[in-house]
């Protein structure tokens, strides 16, 4: 059976849970990512300017951002330039990841 992710990587079920909960853990040589990353990658593909012409999905398919912003995918093909105006309104925290101690430990 083929694995969906490389060895050492797992997805954690955040998307079906509480809003604004996105986790990432790194321990013992394993990386566990929120399953919300799937929707982030989908948004990057949809909003990429190279996908601005001729793309479509069935009506009603949408992405969400923040607490209330609902973006119908068919309206957002190639729309990366319009997304910044939405993103700057969201109080998304900035987080600095420091893997220094973990990286030094795994090299020993």
* Cβ(45)–Cβ(13) below 8 Å: no
Spatial separation of the C-alpha atoms in residues 34 and 24, rounded to whole Å? 6
pTM: 0.74
Better-scored residue on pLDDT, 76 or 92: 76
pLDDT at 104: 65
Q: Which residue's structure tokens are 């601005």?
A: 52
Structural domain boundaries in the chain:
9-90
2-38, pLDDT tens digit by residue? 567 788 889 999 988 888 788 888 887 888 999 999 9
pLDDT at 22: 84
How far is CA 2 from each of CA 5, 38, 66, rounded to the nearest angstrom? 9, 19, 34
């Amino acid at each position: 059976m083929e694995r969906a992710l490389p060895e050492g990587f797992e997805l954690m079920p955040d998307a079906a849970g509480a809003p604004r909960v996105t986790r990432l853990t790194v321990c013992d040589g394993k990386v566990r990512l929120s399953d919300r990353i799937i929707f982030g990658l989908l948004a990057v593909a949809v909003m990429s300017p190279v996908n601005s012409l001729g793309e479509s999905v069935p009506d009603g398919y949408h992405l969400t951002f923040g607490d209330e912003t609902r973006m119908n995918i068919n309206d957002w093909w190639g729309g990366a330039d319009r997304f910044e105006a939405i993103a700057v309104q969201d109080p998304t925290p900035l987080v600095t990841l420091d893997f220094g101690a973990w990286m030094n430990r795994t090299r020993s």
